[in-house]
């Protein structure tokens, strides 16, 4: 059965999402003033590992959060859970309300992560056969230009995804723009997304609305 075009929108989840990612300046300022919520420090690289989700830390729990299409009126929902095999990114993507994406993103690092000595990112993932996107941002703004790379997954099988910095596309809300290559010396955030769109309003050829699951074992640099 096709999804309804309009469904009830959750303003509370919208507000919680923007608050978590410090996207509402006045709320962010008040939180820091009254609750002492400093920006998270960048992860410390060890043997080329940025994140090894098989060895969870409190910092990982504080850094990663769901960022779904509720921010644009949609009703998709996702969550993350640290499991023995890695970070489980699961949920349900709905195309109702003109939505169609779910993602997990880090809060901005302060200071930003310096990856200038490396050529790219390597992900070790086990997915569901769908095509996902990986994003990096070299600007601190909530809606700053992102650099994207699409990757396919094997249904139930582990794959290693190598993402050269030089091959990442500069995008603004899935629209490819002309921009200088990413500044790997100042990486503010990482993000993984499942979206019905590829780039420039083209549809993701390996997307199905409904439940999804992606297990991320590690994020490395090479």
Tens of pLDDT, residues 152-198: 999 999 999 999 999 999 999 889 999 999 999 999 999 999 999 99
Give the pLDDT confidence of 81-98 residue by residue, as tens digits: 999 999 999 999 999 988
**Mean pLDDT across the chain, nearest whole number?**
88
End-to-end CA distance of the chain: 45
Q: How confident is the model at residue 10 (pLDDT cuts 50, 70, 90)?
A: low
Task: Spell out the residues 6+ positions from residue 177 whose beta carbon is closer than 8 angstroms to its own.
Answer: 145, 170, 171
Numbers of helices and strands, H then E, in the chain = 3, 13
pLDDT bin (cut points 50, 70, 90) of residue 61 is confident
**Structure tokens given for 57:** 């830390």
Tell me the whole-structure pTM to 2 decimals.
0.85
């989700």: which residue's tokens? 53
Contact 147, 135 (CB under 8 A): yes
Q: What is the mean pLDDT of residues 107-135?
A: 96
The region that residue 165 occupies, defined by phi over 0 for left and psi between -120 and 50 for alpha, beta otherwise, is alpha
Please enumerate in sequence order all residues whose Cβ is within 8 A of that of 10, keeping only pairs 6 or more positions apart, or say none: 70, 75
């Amino acid at each position: 059965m096709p999804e309804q075009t309009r469904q009830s929108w959750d303003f509370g989840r919208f507000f919680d999402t923007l608050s978590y990612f410090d996207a509402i300046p006045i709320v962010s300022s008040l939180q820091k003033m009254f609750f002492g919520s400093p920006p998270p420090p960048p992860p410390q690289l060890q043997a080329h590992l940025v994140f090894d989700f098989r060895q969870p830390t409190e910092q990982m729990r504080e850094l990663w959060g769901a960022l779904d299409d509720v921010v644009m009126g949609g009703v998709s929902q996702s969550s993350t859970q640290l499991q023995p095999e890695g970070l489980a990114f699961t949920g349900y993507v709905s195309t109702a309300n003109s939505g169609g994406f779910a993602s997990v993103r880090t809060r901005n690092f302060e200071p930003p992560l310096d990856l200038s000595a490396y050529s790219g990112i390597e992900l070790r993932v086990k997915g569901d056969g769908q095509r996902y996107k990986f994003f990096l941002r070299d600007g601190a703004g909530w809606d700053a230009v992102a650099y994207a790379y699409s990757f396919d997954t094997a249904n139930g099988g582990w794959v290693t995804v190598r993402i050269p910095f030089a091959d990442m596309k500069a995008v603004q809300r899935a629209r490819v723009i002309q921009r200088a290559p990413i500044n790997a010396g100042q990486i503010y955030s990482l993000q993984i997304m499942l979206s019905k769109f590829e780039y420039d309003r083209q549809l993701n050829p390996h997307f199905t609305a409904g439940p999804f699951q992606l297990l991320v074992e590690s994020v490395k640099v090479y």
